[in-house]
Structure 1
Amino acid sequence: MEHGHLAVSTRTRWYDGLTPMHWRVLRASFLGWIFDGYEALALVVVLRPMLHSVLSPEQAASPTIYAGLVIGITLLGWGVGGLVGGILADYVGRKRMMLWSVFLYAVFSGLTAFSSTFWTLCALRFLTGLAMGSEWSTGIALLSETWPEQARAKGAGFLQSGFGWGTLTAVLVWYALSSTQPLGAETWRLMFVLGAIPALFVLYIRRGVNESEKWQRAVREKRWSATNAEPAAGATADSGKRPFTLAQLFTEREALRRTLILLALSVVTTVGWWAISSWLPSYTVAIAKAQGLPDALSWGSKVSITYTVGAIVAYMLAGFIIDAIGRRAFLSLSFVGSLVTTVITYKLVNNVEAMMLVAPINGFFTLGCAYVWMAIYPCELFNSSVRSTAISVVFNAARLIAWVFPIIAGSMIKSFGGVSQAALALGSVYLLGIVLPWFLPETRGEGMPD
């Protein structure tokens, strides 16, 4: 197996050696992730008018319950779809799974526009999440297995930034639609129609993307072990029998150790981000009202935009930083920054002017750095025959926990005694993230394992 320390390159530019095929892989995966980001935020920005259209009079008496349900069900579908799609990509290929993911996502997103009842809406949101869940893991696996070592982390960071650009696109599109109201109270439906149209374009782009040769070679040569540390459980050199990839992560000892640590870090990221970002707009609006500012509600949108801009900056820079200081140091420092900025945001800031300065720094750490590592580091810890399964488990398993948060948000805030207290309490999970990375192997400067 090829897995060793690479000689220091004499190239001075990180993008030397990248071919048109490399850029097509990035462009295709990047656009797919933009549409996923758009889809994720579209649901949030149209939530109020959408529920007004689909809730019955009896249901409309408890709007917060149904708002939490539809968001939670979408996250659940996203998590399940990501796990299933990631596993399938290790059996049928990265490219094929991406094509199906984008196609089905486009179909179900478009059908969401025709929802007439709340439960129809929930069913379509679950199916949309199910379809788009595997978009990320298959795109990341394909890019990591095709890009050269000196550029791979940078490319993964650029790919990850697509989600931030997608959320910004959703904000801008909804601003334009809500200002003009072409369909009156039903204008929200256009958000999902528009979300489906560009996703279909990715199908054309991906016709020019090749399948991962690294994955094909691993399957052809029957390299079934999850890591290079030990042979695959349940497989022998004579039979070449392929174990179930998901089971391998929990039966091979070194794979299990890595998987559990990465899962814990993913939970840290997801719980911390959910507590910080989902409550930040309403917390900012409350500060604006306390200051007696006119149009206090607008500050919620403003702070969301600056928060996302901070994350995009982190995505674009992360590949360069992580290659300079190493994977473990980057992770640990990311959670240090997340913890510090969370304390500043929810304990020290008491006016919207200060919040607008702090929010992008918070977003840089809690959404940017705290997520981008999942696009770079786990790929380097698992072999090609289980790589898509491993990174989809790391990325999506936390969502199977996080999907309940929107449903119980109100109770949590009440239990902790307010938004700031709840955010600080949940943000303390970053302490765990500061320590755990040091129990994983450092992979900077090493080639991708086969």
Structure 2
Amino acid sequence: MSTASIAGTEPWYRSLNANQWKTMIASNIGWMFDGYETFALILTVGVALHQLLPASELSHTQAFAGTVIGITLLGWGVGGVIGGILADYLGRRRTMILAILAYSLTTGLSALAWDWVSFALLRFVVGVAIGSEWATGASMTAEVWPDHARGRGAGLMQCGLGIGFFLASFIWLFISGYGPNAWRIMFLLGIVPGLFALWLRSGIDESKRWEATNEKRKSARAKKMSGAVLAPEEHALNRFTIADLFADPELRKRAIICFFMSLTTTLAWWGISTWVPPFVAAVAAAQHLPPQTWASYAAMSYNIGGIIGYAGLGFMADRFGRKPVVMLFFAASLVLTPALYMWTTNLELLVLIAAVNGIFTLGQYSWLSVWLPELFPTRMRATGMAFVFNAPRFIAFMGPLFAGLLIVQFGGFSKMAVAFSLIYILGFVLVPFLPETKGQPLPT
């Protein structure tokens, strides 16, 4: 029975086999660990810098925090592009295992920082390791799940980041009271994912699509070495994947459009949403309430919204199509930024608005895992996805740097956040230039 027939006669989830579920869950958990580590930094960077900075620089903590976050993001960009290339040549599963082991080790090393410079340098190395994981899990899930449910699978996979964010927020709620070294405990806990990598060695299968394409690549290389005339597809298989991405005019067009859409999502999130916990903490402190407790409440609320948004975008994209849903998420993010940062100082209401904001500003990331696999062929799918997802970080890393400086310049968060949110307009107007791929087979 065809996929279409199955999709039309029974619930979507009953058409999935055990391996498809295991692949998505493994990718979700790997991404969850990335989420924990990333949000652990956002929650603790101020506390860490208060200990690591000299007393003369403490008044500029927010600017230094922006620098550390930006450097982490730069490392993420470097590692992400490298990881995507490795996933196309070494395989999805093997690259995922290597990435998880790498960021487990480097996260633990972050706890050993002795000043802000060593902390920033270690964060760059952590960023390199973290960036390598996403494209492998997202491409593997897309290649294993059926056409009619691929968006749902991608959305469920992407939920891992929000779960990791929530987990970090929840743990910090309890660990933050352990004194000035509490931030070091948060990073030491990041070693745990290494155990998961050991299960991955035997827990999931490699993507059959990648294995078939890898055999074709080997044959094409052997044919080239023999001096035989190559067909166009064989020429493509012999090209380095990054060169291959830009050799075809249509793929190049898609990569460039998606790059700027990804830049919208990435620059806005790192420039605006990373400041949600410290913003709420500042509001709480002004009302003589415990700032770190309220920061954790807001972070957990925001990330619950993000989890809903991740899955929601995937499910909606399978129901209504990629284009209208992604445009909705960009537009809603633009509106909800001033709603969070300017419309109220009531802490209970801020926590609620943070959840709604998270549905769209954090859940928005699911368009990358839903749509990108459907735009690039298997031979360079992970490379194309990694380029789009990670290359914008070479620009977006400046977002936290400038945001931190603007917060100091403006004397608060609100004006900075609204100014940065205008970039959502760019993502909104670019969406119509991509093809609608709802329910279509992956490019071979």
TM-score normalised per structure 2: 0.89
CA contact (8 A) 1:413 1:422 kept: yes
| Counterpart position of 1:399 | 393
| Counterpart position of 1:263 | 259
| Counterpart position of 2:417 | 423
Q: Which amino acid aligns with 1:113?
A: A
Higher helix share: 2
CA contact (8 A) 1:95 1:138 kept: yes
| Counterpart position of 1:194 | 189
Distance 2:59 2:299 in 1: 28
Shift in Å, 1:321? 0.9
| Counterpart position of 1:12 | 10
| Counterpart position of 2:46 | 48
CA contact (8 A) 1:161 1:315 kept: yes
| Counterpart position of 1:80 | 78
| Counterpart position of 1:150 | 148
| Counterpart position of 1:125 | 123
CA contact (8 A) 1:219 1:385 kept: yes
Distance 1:420 1:433 in 2: 22
Structure 1 residues 102, 295: CA separation in 2 closer, same or farther (over 3 Å shift)? closer
| Counterpart position of 1:317 | 312
Distance 1:135 1:445 in 2: 26
Shift in Å, 1:146? 1.0
Distance 2:237 2:152 in 1: 36
Shift in Å, 1:74? 1.2
Distance 1:107 1:299 in 2: 31
- Tell me whether 376-385 or 19-28 shows the greater mean CA deviation: 19-28
Distance 2:140 2:421 in 1: 33
- Tell me whether 316-325 or 96-105 shows the greater mean CA deviation: 316-325
Shift in Å, 1:62? 4.7
- CA offsets per residue over residues 131-151 of structure 1, 9 Å max, x none? 121111100011111112233
Distance 1:263 1:351 in 2: 38
- 5+ residue gaps, structure 1: 226-233
Distance 2:56 2:408 in 1: 25
| Counterpart position of 1:229 | none
Q: How much identity, in percent, do the aligned residues show?
A: 40
Shift in Å, 1:319? 2.1
- Tell me whether 27-36 or 335-344 shows the greater mean CA deviation: 335-344
Shift in Å, 1:301? 2.9
In the alignment, structure 1 residue 353 sits paired with structure 2 residue 348? yes
- CA offsets per residue over residues 92-112 of structure 1, 9 Å max, x none? 111111111011111111222
Distance 1:105 1:266 in 2: 23
Distance 2:57 2:408 in 1: 22
CA contact (8 A) 2:63 2:405 kept: no
Map 1:303-382 onto structure 2 (within 5 A): 303-368=298-363, 370-382=364-376
Q: How many correspondences in the alignment?
A: 434
Distance 2:407 2:112 in 1: 34
Distance 1:406 1:320 in 2: 31
Shift in Å, 1:64? 3.6
Distance 1:397 1:423 in 2: 23
In the alignment, structure 1 residue 254 sits paired with structure 2 residue 250? yes
Distance 2:396 2:271 in 1: 10
In the alignment, structure 1 residue 137 sits paired with structure 2 residue 135? yes
Q: Which amino acid aligns with 2:441?
A: G
SS in 1 for 2:190: helix
CA contact (8 A) 1:224 1:385 kept: no
Distance 1:240 1:399 in 2: 27
Map 1:174-213 onto structure 2 (within 5 A): 174-179=172-177, 181=178, 184-213=179-208
Distance 2:312 2:69 in 1: 30
Structure 1 residues 7, 441: CA separation in 2 closer, same or farther (over 3 Å shift)? farther
TM-score normalised per structure 1: 0.88
- Tell me whether 439-448 or 241-250 shows the greater mean CA deviation: 241-250
Distance 1:149 1:238 in 2: 26
Shift in Å, 1:35? 0.8
CA contact (8 A) 1:327 1:444 kept: yes
CA contact (8 A) 1:102 1:200 kept: no
Shift in Å, 1:270? 1.6
Shift in Å, 1:343? 3.6
Structure 1 residues 410, 71: CA separation in 2 closer, same or farther (over 3 Å shift)? closer
- 5+ residue gaps, structure 2: 221-229
* C-alpha RMSD of the superposition: 2.7
Q: Which amino acid aligns with 1:314?
A: G
Distance 1:93 1:7 in 2: 31
Structure 1 residues 66, 411: CA separation in 2 closer, same or farther (over 3 Å shift)? closer
Distance 1:43 1:71 in 2: 8
SS in 2 for 1:388: helix
Structure 1 residues 6, 185: CA separation in 2 closer, same or farther (over 3 Å shift)? same
